[in-house]
Amino acid sequence: MIAELDGELTKKFRSFVNSNNSYVRIYSTQNKDANAWSKICSCMDWLDVAIEGIKEPVLDRNMNKSSLNFAHFLIDIDMIIESIENLWLAFSSVFKKIKEYKSDSNEIFNAFEFGKPYTDREYFKEVRAWFGIHAVNGNSRNLPGFKNSVRFFSSWSSSHALGEYVLILYSNNQQAEKEYGGIKKVLVKDLVRLAQEYYFSLEKLMEELQKSYEVEMDTLRSDAIYLDRELSDLKKLKYLRKVSLERKITREFYEHDVERYLKFLEVDLSVYRQDDKKLILDYLGSLSPIIQNYKILLEQIDIDDDNIFELMNLKSNWYRENHYAASKALEKKENPELSCFTDDFEIRLLIGVGLPEYIQKLQGFEFSLLVYSYDNMFYKTEPPKTAFLKSTLIIDDTNDELEIITIPKIES
């Protein structure tokens, strides 16, 4: 790693990209025909590779090895430039006010080649070609004063002064070689400066992304959500889910909890016994406050530490005491395609501890809704167990003297 290219910035950038409720990822995957997120991830990955791996070229007694070391150094510089340019390009395709980034300065190399001035970026691409990447390709180019295109080829590179690399540029046209070929020199410190210019543009890119995020948040928060109070809970929740998808950044807010709640509200209650219907309606009624809280969440676009779907949690002593059987039965019923077991052993266990026998015939979320409703009933009717202390004795016979250690243990 080169000190001027501290890898801390790439860590900071990656952390920023993943922040703000995954703003970048969510918005960059909206277009099914052009998923910019995959490109962003690729650019960040290869930028990490280049920044961590880059080191100043080392001179070797063997000129061939010195040439190869310098060519590798140029590849690292090129990878940094390409990764950062394509990051800017990917973000500009998603967040329209962010522009592409390419250095148009010529202050580093102040280059003039082939009869014209070069920007620093353009000149670097020539250096990259001369010193290894396309050294033998002889890529043709049209030059002023030459009727036909000409080609150029490079000698191996060498270093006669610390931090400076040179080569000779040949041509298949003697006159072109005389005018435009000959000795070419480049300084390592200038190449590092160019890499720095690109690298620290990430700070500017983060500023632009933060501005874009804040503008989007202000726009969404200024748009209040109207929810018709006369609608059923099911229709209200469906409407709010639709709004959450339209607002993009809120589409993942409690998505699995919302999906479960919708499934519960869609269950046909005619499959249950009459006395169980009352339990279910009581449970569903206890969940109604979630809808208003979900609406507020979508308007404010801010998840805090309080889980607004906590009302749906299984929390009775009955559930804790039968946790394994209940969780396995729910998993099998809700995901029959993922289960390789057809045995209803866990369900029979649950019937033995209070659930009605006909629950075996219920499918999917019909089963789940009844389990959750019974859990809600047990939670209301059973006082919570108080915590008490027990002691665990551990006999330590690894030492010469027998030792008995007492460790307090909290149980509920």
DSSP of 14-76? HHHHT-GGGHHHHHHT--TT--HHHHHHHHHHHHHHHHHH-------SSHHHHHHHHHHHHHH
pLDDT of 250 reads: 93
Look at strands 150-154 and 164-171 and give their pairing: antiparallel
d(CA 104, CA 194): 11
Residue ranges of the chain whose pLDDT lies below 50:
387-397, 402, 404-412
pLDDT of 218 reads: 95
pLDDT of 411 reads: 46
Residue 222's CB is within 10 A of a number of other CB atoms, namely 8
d(CA 37, CA 55): 29
pLDDT of 160 reads: 81
Residue 307's CB is within 10 A of a number of other CB atoms, namely 13
Q: What is the largest CA-CA distance in the chain?
A: 101
Backbone angles phi, psi at 356, to 5 degrees: -70, 150
pLDDT of 54 reads: 92
- Percent of the chain at pLDDT exceeding 90: 68
d(CA 263, CA 261): 5
pLDDT of 241 reads: 97
Task: Decide if 392 contacts 409 (C-beta within 8 A).
Answer: yes
C-alpha R_g of the chain: 34
Which residues have C-beta within 8 Å of that of residue 210, sequence separation ≥ 6? Answer: 16, 20
390 - beta bridge partners?
A: 409
pLDDT of 117 reads: 94
pLDDT tens, position by position, 270-322: 999 999 999 999 999 999 999 999 999 999 987 766 788 999 999 999 999 99
pLDDT tens, position by position, 234-271: 999 999 999 999 999 999 999 999 999 999 999 999 99
CA dihedral 22, 26, 27, 28 (to 10 degrees): 100
